[in-house]
Structure 1
Amino acid sequence: MSSINVRPATRADMPLILSLVAELAEYEKLSDQITSDPEEFAEHLFGPRPYAEVLIGELDGKACGFALFFHNFSTFLGKPGIYLEDLYVRADTRGSGLGKALLGTMAKLAVARGCGRLEWSVLDWNEPAIGFYKQLGAYSLDDWTQFRLTGDALQNLAKNTEEPALA
């Protein structure tokens, strides 16, 4: 039987995190969308104002997965929540219980931090992940459509807004 461990990432884990993110992007067929600067990425995770947190999942002492998440807030619940940006377990260790351990650790963090929910998005073609999440009791929000502003559209909206920007 394999030994599973989940631990918070440290700055020393940045090469591992970048490697796992690249593997995730390849799996999701989105490698062309990685544009992050490794030093800026590390600063956002481990600098004076961290914007996200990372858990490292280990199987028999070897890092085989990660979860990157951050807090959001529900005005309807009046409570913080946790948004799971990325969950990834290496293909050769899927089915080992590592993904469940990562999500379980996140659920414990959410409860300990007084959060009202833990949520994430999944690509609609990723049937193995969807099935896994449903087995854990998660459900899809089919009545919501996710929107995103990036690149020029984000810059244009910021530039063309007359109100002073908040930092």
Structure 2
Amino acid sequence: MAMGAGAAKGRGRRRRAPMAEINVTPMVDVMLVLLIIFMVAAPLLVTGVSVDLPQTAAKALPSDNEPISVTIDRAGQRSIGSELLGEAAFDTRLQALKEARPDARVVIRADASLPYGQVAALLADVTGVGFTKVALVNRPVTIEEAPAG
């Protein structure tokens, strides 16, 4: 009889115990999709004119808002952001930016092969418009490239 009682219990509908594990498969799927999206989108976010920046051991400046990027390339052509401008258009655009953003920071990116005079002339033009927060961009020195001493 004892066996019969246990068998009667087993014939009825079984209830499943609640699952205690977390199903991470949907989360992994979403993370992989986001990873692919960011891998594709990241190279598109880098814009500007390609220049060979000089190397220094200076620390990066703290940033509070988006600075105005002024670039002079190896050929001496000037641009603001990614917009390549002639001499007259450059001055006009710089003046318009000063009126629109009077307290903006300006970063100057100059090719390392340029003579100092061209970089100084660009710096004079930027400060001549009235910008007071001006910085020169450089490429940090790695440990392998650091001079001995």
Q: Higher relative CO (CA 8 A, sep ≥ 6), structure 1 or 2?
A: 2
TM-score, length-scaled by structure 2: 0.30
Bigger-Rg structure (1/2): 2
Kindly indicate which of the two structures has a greater share of residues assigned to strand.
Answer: 1
TM-score, length-scaled by structure 1: 0.28
